[in-house]
């Protein structure tokens, strides 16, 4: 804390709602802050970092600052100037010398919040792409930051060659017109439908995997979220995560009041967090990608600083920063498709993708690159024309030449190396299926002891794998095993949903059991809808590498590896050599 007090204060000036959020976040961390009027930004010699929070006439303000710093000496380092504005593209600003007295960073509130939110709740949090499920994003309302969320989701939505789906529910016809004008080729990335609040054709659509509610005012948003929960349960039998923009409202209530699937957020709070605004939270991998690129330029005997894309991150233009960010943000989708995750590097050995895996990921990387190009206004033409934004490589992956395919292959083969440079290592998941137990299976210390014994042996048997427990959590014995897996084996959790979550909650025998289920739901990293007849058993047969059966092991296809826990007999039966 003493070190923080010695640091010069961060200056903040601009729109009051934003200033208040920034000051609150900095104060909470014990960082010094000084609020200044935009009209009185003098004595800049004492300021190292200045935040302009969406001020009026930002170009004029920056020109005045530049004039002050250009005529007065005494600074040992450039002024770090963070200009917050509502959404990209940024306002027209003066051209600044990269080596001048001001280092300018533009910060789009809606766009940065969209990146943060879809990193925390990635598009695969509501589906299993390895099981063949396709992303279907449902966007209810088009108040901020809906447009930025939609654009970011389209950059992240390629998970395979299946065509993803986006449904936008809004009564604002102008919203569709404006988005189409801004992103005329978005339809090349996904099937986008704009519909009214009655959600026509929902029963025939692919299962919705994630919902974003951005209605205005917040009371209307909460009502829209509740209606959406009911509508999806009735029409599709699914319970995807629902992200609810609440603005300045402060959500209240306890775990007992939660429906298990609605997650409130404020995009302004997300964007104004000090870690995001000042410390580049979410940019770590993007910086690593950029450093890798500059290293490759230097290895070729060229000076990176002489090329616009090779300058240091602090002096890199916004367009090049965004290109690195888009590539970095999609890494997690690629890992999900391979049933992999990233953990601290010291806990894993070196990792490489198998040739067939690398080829599959190369296809996805080409789709990601094409999506990024389409959203930036590019379209196919046999001859490249930068002025018209024409590109000959905007074609299906199989039609690319081998040298062009090699570019995508090189990008995905380098994923483990990029993560390693950020202190992360790639590890494969070991999915443990937890089918519904036999009737009257106890949920007591007998199950607890057997489960702890089995999980300890699995961790020892598979030291290079990351355990994931997958089940419906409808039964107390299954929840007990799941809790032990999370707490003692560090496992992840996939929630399998053969019916709407509200029905599973309603069938719990008492409030204690309901709270037990809700408590575990907070740990679920995936919610996989399996509403079709036989889908749950099919998922266990094709996706679970090992089944942990409570009471008995029913006859079923696939999943040859099984462990049977018999709490009544106090025994464990292993169906394979462990």
CATH code for position 134? 3.40.50
Summarize the confidence of residues 314-342 as an average pLDDT: 92
> Across-strand partners of 136?
165
Question: What's residue 97's pLDDT?
Answer: 84
pLDDT(1) > 50: no
Same domain, 233 and 319: no
Give the confidence band of 142 by pLDDT, cuts at 50, 70, 90: very high
Q: Which of 213-222, 434-443, 530-539 has the highest mean pLDDT?
A: 530-539
Cis peptide upstream of residue 89 (ω within 30 degrees of 0)? yes
Q: Are residues 26 and 38 in the same domain?
A: yes
**Radius of gyration (C-alpha) of the chain in whole angstroms:** 26
Assess whether pLDDT exceeds 80 at residue 544.
Answer: yes
**Residue 348 sits in the same domain as residue 358:** yes
**What range defines the domain where residue 293 resides?**
279-424
pLDDT, tens digit, 9 for 90 and up, residues 226-284: 999 999 999 999 999 999 999 988 888 899 999 999 999 999 999 999 999 998 888 99
Q: Is the pLDDT of residue 5 over 60?
A: no
Where a domain ends, among 87, 108, 129? 108
Same domain assignment for residues 99 and 138: no
Angle CA(219)–CA(174)–CA(394) in degrees, nearest 5? 110
Q: Are residues 443 and 406 in the same domain?
A: no
**Average pLDDT in the 533-538 region?**
95
Which pLDDT tens digit goes with each residue over 6-17?
678 999 999 988
Assess if residue 554 is contained within a domain. yes
Residue 265 located in a structural domain: no
For residue 85 the two structure tokens come to: 């504005």
Tell me the pLDDT of the chain averaged across its residues.
92
Report if residue 228 sits inside a domain: yes
Q: Is residue 410 part of a domain?
A: yes
Task: State whether 311 and 388 are in the same domain.
Answer: yes
- Tell me the per-residue pLDDT of 376-400, one tens digit each, with 9 for 90 and over: 999 999 999 999 999 999 999 999 9
Q: How many domains does the chain have?
A: 4
The greatest distance separating any two alpha carbons of the chain, rounded to the nearest whole angstrom, comes to 86
> DSSP assignment, residue 262?
E
For residue 244, what pLDDT is reported?
97
* Degrees to nearest 5, angle at CA 287 with 284 and 292: 125
Residues 348 and 419 both lie in one domain: yes
Strand partners, 194: 168
Domain for residue 9, yes or no? yes
Are both 430 and 491 inside the same structural domain?
yes
Judge whether residue 161 has pLDDT over 70. yes
pLDDT at position 187 over 90: yes
Residue 123 has pLDDT above 80, yes or no: yes
Q: Which two tokens stand for residue 140?
A: 């209810």
Q: What is the CATH number of the domain that holds 335?
A: 1.10.490
Which H, E and C letters describe 496-538, residue by residue? Answer: EECCCHHHHHHCCCCHHHHHHHHHHHCCCCEEEECCCCCHHHH
pLDDT tens digit sequence for 193-205:
999 988 888 999 9
pLDDT of residue 216: 85
Q: What is the DSSP letter of 194?
A: E
Is residue 83 in some structural domain?
A: yes
Burial class (CB within 10 angstroms; exposed 0-12, middle 13-18, buried 19+) of 320: middle
| Residue that finishes a domain, picked among 74, 108, 142 | 108
What is the average pLDDT across 154-162? 96
- Indicate whether 528 and 389 sit together in one domain: no
In a domain, 304, yes or no: yes
Mean pLDDT of 353-365: 97
Using CA atoms, how far apart are residues 478 and 203, in angstroms rounded to an integer?
Answer: 31
pLDDT above 70 as % of the chain: 97
DSSP assignment string, 200-226 = TTGGGSPPP-EEEE--SSHHHHHHHHH
Q: Which residues contact 127 (CB under 8 A, 6 or more apart)?
A: 133, 134, 135, 207, 209, 526, 528, 529
Percent of the chain whose pLDDT exceeds 90:
77
- State if pTM tops 0.75: yes
Asked if residue 257 is part of any domain, the answer here is: no
Considering the domain architecture, whether residues 55 and 188 belong to the same structural domain is answered as no
Whether residues 329 and 457 share a domain: the answer is no
pLDDT at 559 over 80: no
**Residue 554, pLDDT score:** 59
Q: Average the pLDDT over 93-98 and give the result.
A: 86
Name the pLDDT band for 3 (thresholds 50, 70, 90): very low
The answer to whether residues 455 and 416 belong to one domain is no
Identify the three-state secondary structure at position 35: strand
């Amino acid at each position: 804390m003493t070190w923080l007090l010695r640091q010069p204060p961060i200056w903040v000036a601009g729109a009051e709602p934003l200033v208040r959020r920034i000051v609150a976040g900095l104060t909470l961390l014990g960082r010094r802050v000084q609020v200044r009027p935009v009209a009185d930004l003098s004595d800049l010699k004492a300021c190292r970092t200045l935040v302009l929070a969406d001020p009026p006439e930002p170009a004029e303000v920056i020109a005045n600052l530049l004039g002050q710093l250009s005529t007065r000496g005494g600074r040992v380092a450039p002024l770090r100037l963070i200009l917050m504005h509502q959404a990209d593209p940024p306002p027209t600003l003066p051209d600044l010398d990269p080596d001048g007295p001001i280092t300018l960073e533009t910060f789009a509130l809606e766009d940065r919040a969209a990146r943060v939110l879809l990193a925390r709740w990635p598009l695969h949090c509501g589906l299993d792409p390895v099981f063949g499920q396709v992303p279907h994003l449902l966007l209810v309302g088009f108040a901020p930051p809906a447009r930025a969320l939609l654009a970011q989701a389209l950059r992240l939505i390629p998970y395979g060659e299946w065509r993803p789906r986006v449904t936008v529910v809004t009564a604002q016809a102008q919203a569709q017109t404006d988005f189409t004008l801004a992103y005329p080729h978005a339809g090349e990335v996904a099937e986008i439908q704009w519909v009214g609040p009655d959600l026509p054709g929902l029963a025939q659509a692919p299962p919705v995997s994630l919902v974003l509610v951005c209605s205005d005012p917040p009371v209307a948003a909460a009502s829209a979220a509740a209606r959406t929960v009911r509508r999806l349960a009735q029409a599709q039998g699914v319970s995807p995560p629902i992200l609810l923009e609440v603005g300045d409202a402060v959500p209240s209530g306890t775990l007992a009041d939660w429906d298990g699937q609605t997650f409130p957020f404020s995009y302004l709070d997300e964007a104004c967090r000090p870690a995001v605004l000042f410390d580049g939270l979410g940019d770590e991998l993007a910086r690593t990608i950029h450093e890798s690129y500059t290293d490759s330029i230097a290895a070729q005997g060229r000076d990176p600083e002489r090329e616009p894309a090779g300058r240091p991150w602090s002096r890199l233009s916004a367009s090049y920063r965004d290109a690195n960010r888009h590539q970095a943000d999609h890494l997690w989708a690629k890992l999900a498709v391979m049933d992999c995750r990233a953990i601290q590097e010291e806990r894993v050995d070196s990792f490489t993708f198998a040739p067939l895996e690398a080829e599959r990921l190369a296809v996805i990387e080409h789709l990601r690159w094409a999506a990024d190009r389409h959203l930036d206004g590019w379209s196919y033409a046999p001859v490249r024309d930068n002025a018209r934004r024409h590109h000959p490589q905007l074609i299906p992956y199989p039609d690319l030449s081998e040298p062009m395919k090699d570019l995508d292959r090189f990008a995905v083969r380098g994923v483990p190396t990029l993560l390693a440079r950020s202190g992360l290592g790639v590890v494969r998941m070991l999915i443990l299926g937890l089918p519904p137990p036999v009737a009257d299976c106890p949920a007591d210390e007998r199950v607890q002891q057997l489960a702890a014994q089995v999980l300890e042996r699995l961790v020892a048997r598979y030291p290079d794998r990351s355990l994931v427990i997958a089940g419906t959590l409808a039964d107390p014995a299954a929840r007990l095993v799941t809790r032990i897996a999370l707490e003692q084996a560090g496992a992840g959790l996939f929630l399998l949903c053969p019916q709407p979550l509200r029905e599973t909650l309603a069938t719990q025998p008492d409030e204690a059991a309901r709270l037990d289920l809700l408590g575990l739901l907070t740990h679920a990293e995936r919610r996989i809808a399996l509403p079709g007849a036989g889908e749950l058993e099919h998922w266990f047969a094709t996706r679970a590498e090992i089944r942990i059966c409570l009471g008995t092991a029913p006859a079923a296809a696939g999943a040859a590896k099984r462990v049977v826990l018999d709490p009544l007999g106090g025994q464990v039966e292993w169906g394979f050599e462990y």
